[in-house]
Structure 1
Amino acid sequence: MKKDSQYDLNIAKLADKTHHFAFELDRAFFEQFDQQLIPDGTVHADVTLHKTDRLLTLDFDIKGTVRQVCDRSLDDYDQEIDTQEQLLVRYGDREVELDDNVLQITADTQTLPLAQHLFDYIGLALPMKKLHPRFQNEPDEDPDSATKLIFTTRQDGDSDGDDDGDDDIDPRWNALRNLN
């Protein structure tokens, strides 16, 4: 990803109070990342930053649409995105990601880059199964279809029950059956 200060927050100059930021994410934003998950989109992200002397709390409200490829038909379609996320940033002796939504930065950190977090939150809001809207209202497959027999090695003349015939079994295994 290229370094882009448009999505960086200059936290050094902010007072200890609540601040609001708005970001418009479009094709240029998504092209910064070397990925094929989201080729294009029109997304609006509202970020509320509550700054104290020990902690930064960032609340993300992300809404819009992103371009996706249907898993079934390979047609392009617009997927609605509506997600809320929270990122906690605390001050410490070194910069480290403590958890998925908890960062630690040093006291002399001037800017907080948000581009990767915005992209990750949008990616997490996408459904696992990407279906074009014309397929989304179709009922799922019959629940019994998952249990249908597709392949068997049994011959047509074999019975469905347990095979008690010892003719096909190696005699070495018969000796093991008698052990308890």
Structure 2
Amino acid sequence: MKPLKEFVIPFIGLKVGAHQFEYKIGPEFFEYFEYDDFNNVNVDVCVNLVKKETLLELQFKISGIVNVNCDLTNEPFDQFIENEFNLVVKFGEAYDDENIDILILPHGAYELNIQQYVYELIVLSVPIKRVHPGVEDGTLNSDILKRLEELSPKTEDKKETIEDIDPRWNTLKKLLTGK
């Protein structure tokens, strides 16, 4: 996969000190990775790079909105995401990215590709369970929600089953509660 040019930082020409890079991430970024879980994406990425004599420190900050489908109703909604990630880039004999927070580049390296870190940070910022805000506060009118409510077990059935329990078990329950 050919790297996206805008996410390649040529650090060899930068002066020692702090540098800031800003990116606007849209749906075309995720098309590059062939990731189609998002309907739409509008995320701002700010990368603060501090160049030191022997290493680089990067701080990634993202905030924005991804449009995803609700896991319960399949209705699309905008999910706000915000996250941070710190990365230390050191130089060594060979490329090594086994440690999550430390990247080792070969001594002759002159640029750093951050597209994979941006991609993973955005994808991992979205909650595992995606629930439409209208489901939580009861304002969403959806055929799927109505059907789920019709098919859900009724509370009256639970009361009947409690009464149908053998009364001998009630004395054992007293042992658990101490009453």
1:3-82 equivalence runs, <5 A: 3-82=3-82
The gaps in structure 1 that reach 5 residues or longer are 139-144, 149-155, 162-180
Q: Distance in 1 between matches of 2:168 and 2:74?
A: 42
1:19 is aligned with what amino acid?
H
Q: Distance in 1 between matches of 2:113 and 2:76?
A: 31
Q: Tell me what 1:175 maps to.
A: none
1:97 shift after superposition:
0.7
Q: Distance in 1 between matches of 2:126 and 2:62?
A: 12
SS in 2 for 1:136: helix
After superposition, the Cα gap between the structure-2 partners of 1:70 and 1:17, relative to the gap in structure 1 and judged at 3 Å, is same
Contact kept? 2:8, 2:113, Cα under 8 Å: yes
1:137 shift after superposition:
3.5
Contact kept? 1:2, 1:33, Cα under 8 Å: no
1:23-172 equivalence runs, <5 A: 23-137=23-137
Q: Distance in 2 between matches of 1:129 and 1:106?
A: 40
After superposition, the Cα gap between the structure-2 partners of 1:104 and 1:44, relative to the gap in structure 1 and judged at 3 Å, is same
1:38 shift after superposition:
3.0
The gaps in structure 2 that reach 5 residues or longer are 139-154, 159-163, 170-179
Structure richer in helix, relative to its length: 2
Q: Tell me what 2:146 maps to.
A: none
Q: Distance in 1 between matches of 2:93 and 2:29?
A: 32
1:136 shift after superposition:
3.3
2:75 is aligned with what amino acid?
D
Q: TM-score, normalised by structure 1?
A: 0.73
Q: Tell me what 1:174 maps to.
A: none
Identity of aligned residues (%): 28
1:45 is aligned with what amino acid?
V
Q: TM-score, normalised by structure 2?
A: 0.73
